[in-house]
């Protein structure tokens, strides 16, 4: 570095030293990149940004069993869901079963779900559990749109749970701000979700993360290895731990247990209930279900819709009559739209754990009903 007389050394408002005659910055910490160097730096950063998530898939083992489902603790790990779907659906014969916690299996073990019952009764391993716990239809539409690109050019079973229309709150139509499952998957700006009150900055962050794999991958690391905390928060709680040591490369496996006790609903609360049903033409959840169906069809999928199951035993007579009209309207729309579908017969009361979730024996009965129906057998044989 060229030395200057003391009287010629001045500093600007940033504390940087200047040579007054030339106005040139100088100092041992000054780094100036030329055009070529900027290009090289950009290429390196872009390679890291795009390459790390792909490299991570090679070094982080993903062990998939025949009855695999997304672990309960990682229900909001959408990067993992996308990777899981891509891996499972490399087999062109696999039929994904997509839906909410009824498909995922809230009251049963992984080996007692609908996909397992279908596989057992057909003697094949061709049905895969791609359900996600808590994925109401608005969220499921976002999951399919942004993280379900692997579900293309195949047969698919798509479940719709009428429970999401049983009140304005479940239909996300109340104006009071409220919490609900999977807010990262709902539309952030349009159409507007009345009860969703996230800040503009939060909405922007979520919307941007959907289009940048690197950001959803870092969210995967937080959920899997850092207790769903930012690195700074995790470091404060673990001041002597090495962050690299937390990256164990061991994904949580699906718990071999039911998240909720599989007790028949009548043994918990045998009272009849009256729901404040939302008509299909006014329902956000039904509208987004139709959007999911359209998205899947546009990707070359042949979709079979399961409309239910639903525990009508727990409804009052008046509520059951309203539900019958709503159910008929949804069925009529599917017929008019030429969508293969089936509304399962109401299961015996003792096979429901609540308003919509069967227990293990209920899934066996549901699989039997599907496989004995002409429409479902025709769907499978095509």
Q: How many Cα atoms are found within 13 Å in the side-chain-facing hemisphere of 298?
A: 10
Provide φ and ψ at 225, rounded to 5°. Answer: -120, -15
Give the end-to-end CA distance of the chain in Å, rounded to a whole number.
78
| pLDDT value for 25 | 47
| pLDDT value for 28 | 53
Give CA–CA dist 232/234, Å, rounded.
5
| pLDDT value for 53 | 86
Residue reference for tokens 């002597």: 240
Give CA–CA dist 188/208, Å, rounded.
11
Give CA–CA dist 195/176, Å, rounded.
5
**Consecutive 10-residue averages of pLDDT for the chain (382 residues):** 49 50 53 76 73 88 91 95 96 95 96 97 93 96 96 97 96 94 95 94 92 90 91 89 90 90 86 92 97 97 96 95 96 96 93 95 97 94 84
| pLDDT value for 39 | 79
Give CA–CA dist 377/375, Å, rounded.
6
| pLDDT value for 27 | 52
Q: How many residues does the chain have?
A: 382
* C-alpha separations of 143 from 76, 132, 176, 208 in Å: 10, 9, 25, 15
* C-alpha separations of 213 from 208, 220, 286 in Å: 10, 10, 29
Give CA–CA dist 153/296, Å, rounded.
9
Sign of CA dihedral 34, 38, 44, 48: positive
Q: Look up the pTM and report it.
A: 0.87
Give CA–CA dist 354/347, Å, rounded.
12
Domains of the chain in start order, with CATH, are 67-381 (3.40.50.1110)
Q: Maximum distance among all alpha carbons in the chain? A: 97
- Write the CB contacts of 287 (distance below 8 Å, at least 6 apart in sequence): none
Q: Are strands 24-26 and 17-19 parallel, antiparallel or unpaired?
A: antiparallel
Decide: residue 214, CB within 10 A, 0-12 exposed, 13-18 middle, 19+ buried: middle
Alpha-helical regions (H) of the chain:
35-59, 78-88, 101-104, 114-122, 137-147, 200-211, 213-225, 231-237, 243-246, 265-268, 284-298, 317-336, 360-372, 374-381
| pLDDT value for 211 | 87
Coil, strand or helix at 300: coil
| pLDDT value for 9 | 47
On whether the CB atoms of residues 371 and 95 are closer than 8 A, the answer is no
């Amino acid at each position: 570095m060229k030395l200057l007389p003391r009287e010629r050394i001045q500093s600007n408002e940033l504390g940087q030293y200047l040579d007054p005659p030339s106005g040139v910055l100088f100092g041992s910490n000054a780094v100036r990149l030329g055009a070529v160097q900027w290009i090289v730096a950009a290429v390196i950063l872009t390679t890291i940004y795009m390459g790390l998530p792909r490299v991570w898939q090679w070094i982080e083992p993903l062990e998939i069993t025949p009855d695999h489902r997304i672990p309960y603790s990682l229900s909001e790990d959408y990067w993992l869901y996308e990777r899981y779907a891509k891996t499972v659906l490399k087999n062109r014969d696999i039929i994904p079963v997509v839906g909410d916690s009824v498909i995922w299996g809230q009251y049963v073990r992984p080996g007692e779900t609908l996909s397992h019952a279908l596989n057992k009764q057909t003697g094949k391993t061709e049905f895969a559990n791609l359900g996600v716990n808590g994925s109401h239809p608005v969220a499921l539409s976002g999951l399919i749109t942004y993280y379900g690109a692997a579900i293309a050019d195949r047969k698919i079973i798509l479940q719709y749970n009428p429970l999401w229309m049983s009140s304005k709150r479940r239909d996300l139509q109340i104006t009071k701000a409220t919490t609900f499952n999977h807010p990262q998957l709902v539309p952030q700006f349009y159409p507007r979700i009345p009860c969703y009150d996230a800040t503009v900055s939060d909405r922007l962050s979520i919307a941007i993360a959907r289009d940048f794999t690197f950001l959803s991958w870092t969210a995967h690391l937080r959920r899997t290895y850092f207790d769903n905390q930012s690195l700074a928060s995790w470091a404060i709680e673990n001041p002597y731990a090495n962050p690299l040591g937390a990256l164990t490369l061991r994904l949580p496996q699906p718990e071999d247990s039911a998240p909720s006790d599989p007790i028949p609903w009548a043994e918990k609360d045998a009272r009849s209930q009256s729901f404040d049903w939302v008509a299909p033409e006014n329902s956000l959840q039904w509208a987004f279900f139709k959007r999911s169906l359209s998205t899947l069809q546009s990707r070359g999928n042949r979709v079979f819709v399961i409309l239910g199951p639903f525990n009508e035993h727990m409804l009052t007579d008046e509520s059951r009559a309203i539900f019958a009209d709503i159910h008929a309207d949804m069925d009529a729309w599917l017929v008019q739209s030429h969508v293969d579908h089936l509304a399962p017969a109401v299961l015996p009361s003792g096979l429901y754990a609540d308003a919509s979730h069967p227990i293990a024996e209920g899934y066996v009965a549901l699989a039997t009903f599907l496989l004995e129906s002409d429409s479902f057998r025709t769907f499978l044989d095509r």
